[in-house]
Amino acid sequence: MSNDIIYITGFIIFFFGLSLVLKNSSKFLYFIYTFLSTVFHELAHFIIGLILFANPTYFSLIPKKTEEGYTLGFVEFNRLNSFNALPISLAPLILIFIAYLTFNQFYGSMNIVLLSFLLFLLLNGSIPSSQDFSIVFEYKLGIILYLCLVSLFIYIYFFGGNINEIKNIFNTVINNNFIQ
């Protein structure tokens, strides 16, 4: 198994390298080569947008030239807000977990090169774009909200915090007018 992991890792690195070469030499071949990654990436935005009631209104997989370069695909929403912007923008990161599940499901039963390419497509699609990050930072309240939630979970999980302590903290904050 260890040699297979080395081969799979090597093939994935090769596929990423080929992607960079194509990106810098032939936009058309690059678009074709990364099309499925783009599909996975945009579907992640779309599905999480549906789940979080952002009301997706437009979905495109047709590359178009922009001032910054090229947009390979996009999803438009008409109900983005502080609650849903961060998870929708970073939704493609879930493709890392899907790549992990794919590896566990198909390792040993699929050709190593084919499995490596599928993992590459998922991992390549999991990379948030600069546009994804710009949307996250448009909703600063959402960043604060999710940082608080993550901090709360860390506190409960690692430090044994309980719900009554958390209620007391919130009551203290509210009663002392820290939150208006």
Average pLDDT over residues 144-168: 79
Mean pLDDT, rounded, of the chain: 89
- Cβ atoms of residues 108 and 74 within 8 Å: no
Say yes or no to pLDDT of 47 above 60: yes
User: Residue 165: its pLDDT value, please?
Assistant: 72
pLDDT tens, residue by residue, 102-142: 999 999 899 999 999 999 999 999 999 989 999 989 998 88
Residue 176: band (very low, low, confident or very high) from pLDDT cuts 50, 70, 90 = low
Three-class DSSP category at 57? strand
Domain ranges of the chain: 2-137, 139-180
pTM, two decimals, is 0.82
Instruction: Give the C-alpha separation, 58 to 76, whole Å.
Output: 5
Instruction: Give the C-alpha separation, 36 to 27, whole Å.
Output: 15
Say yes or no to pLDDT of 145 above 80: yes
Instruction: Give the C-alpha separation, 15 to 19, whole Å.
Output: 6
What torsion, rounded to 10 degrees, do the Cα atoms 143, 63, 36, 95 define? 0
User: Residue 161: its pLDDT value, please?
Assistant: 67
pLDDT tens, residue by residue, 57-96: 999 999 888 887 888 999 999 999 999 999 999 999 999 9
Say yes or no to pLDDT of 152 above 60: yes
Say yes or no to pLDDT of 174 above 80: no
User: Residue 179: its pLDDT value, please?
Assistant: 46
What torsion, rounded to 10 degrees, do the Cα atoms 150, 95, 135, 139 define? -20
User: Residue 155: its pLDDT value, please?
Assistant: 79
Q: The tokens of 15 are what?
A: 């596929």
Instruction: Give the C-alpha separation, 90 to 93, whole Å.
Output: 6
